[in-house]
Amino acid sequence: MPSTTVAKSGTLSMLETQVLMVLASADLHGYGIALEIQRRDPDGPKVYPTNLYRRLHDLADRGLIANAGTELDDKGRARKTFAITDSGREALSTQTSRLAGFVEELRAAERTTE
């Protein structure tokens, strides 16, 4: 069961959205996901491992991501990789539409204050 009210409502947190965006481009392990989020949004909040792995677990429980196998790092350690599922792509598309609507509302509010 999802661990947050946000997850229960069917919406995605910002971190969950970023994870799905990254995985829509390529299957990655947790550390790779964190690095890619920071690369895409260098001025954004730091991605803490505890928060990231909790979100990965929740997204997997909700069927939005799945285990894509294991890869070895340069020191021979196994790293679990994740892939976005069809349900994850659908959730990301819904979130994108939701956020686009929000941005339009912000722009409209900004125009009325000018």
Q: What are phi and psi of 11, to 5 degrees?
A: -90, 170
Q: What are phi and psi of 26, to 5 degrees?
A: -165, 150
Within a 10 A sphere around the Cβ of 23, how many other Cβ atoms? 27
Q: What domains, with CATH codes, occur in the chain?
A: 5-112 (1.10.10.10)
Contact present, 19 and 55 (Cβ < 8 Å): yes
pLDDT in tens, 71-100: 888 899 999 999 999 999 999 999 999 888
pLDDT in tens, 25-59: 999 999 999 999 999 999 999 999 999 999 999 99
Q: Alpha-carbon distance 103 to 55, whole Å?
A: 25
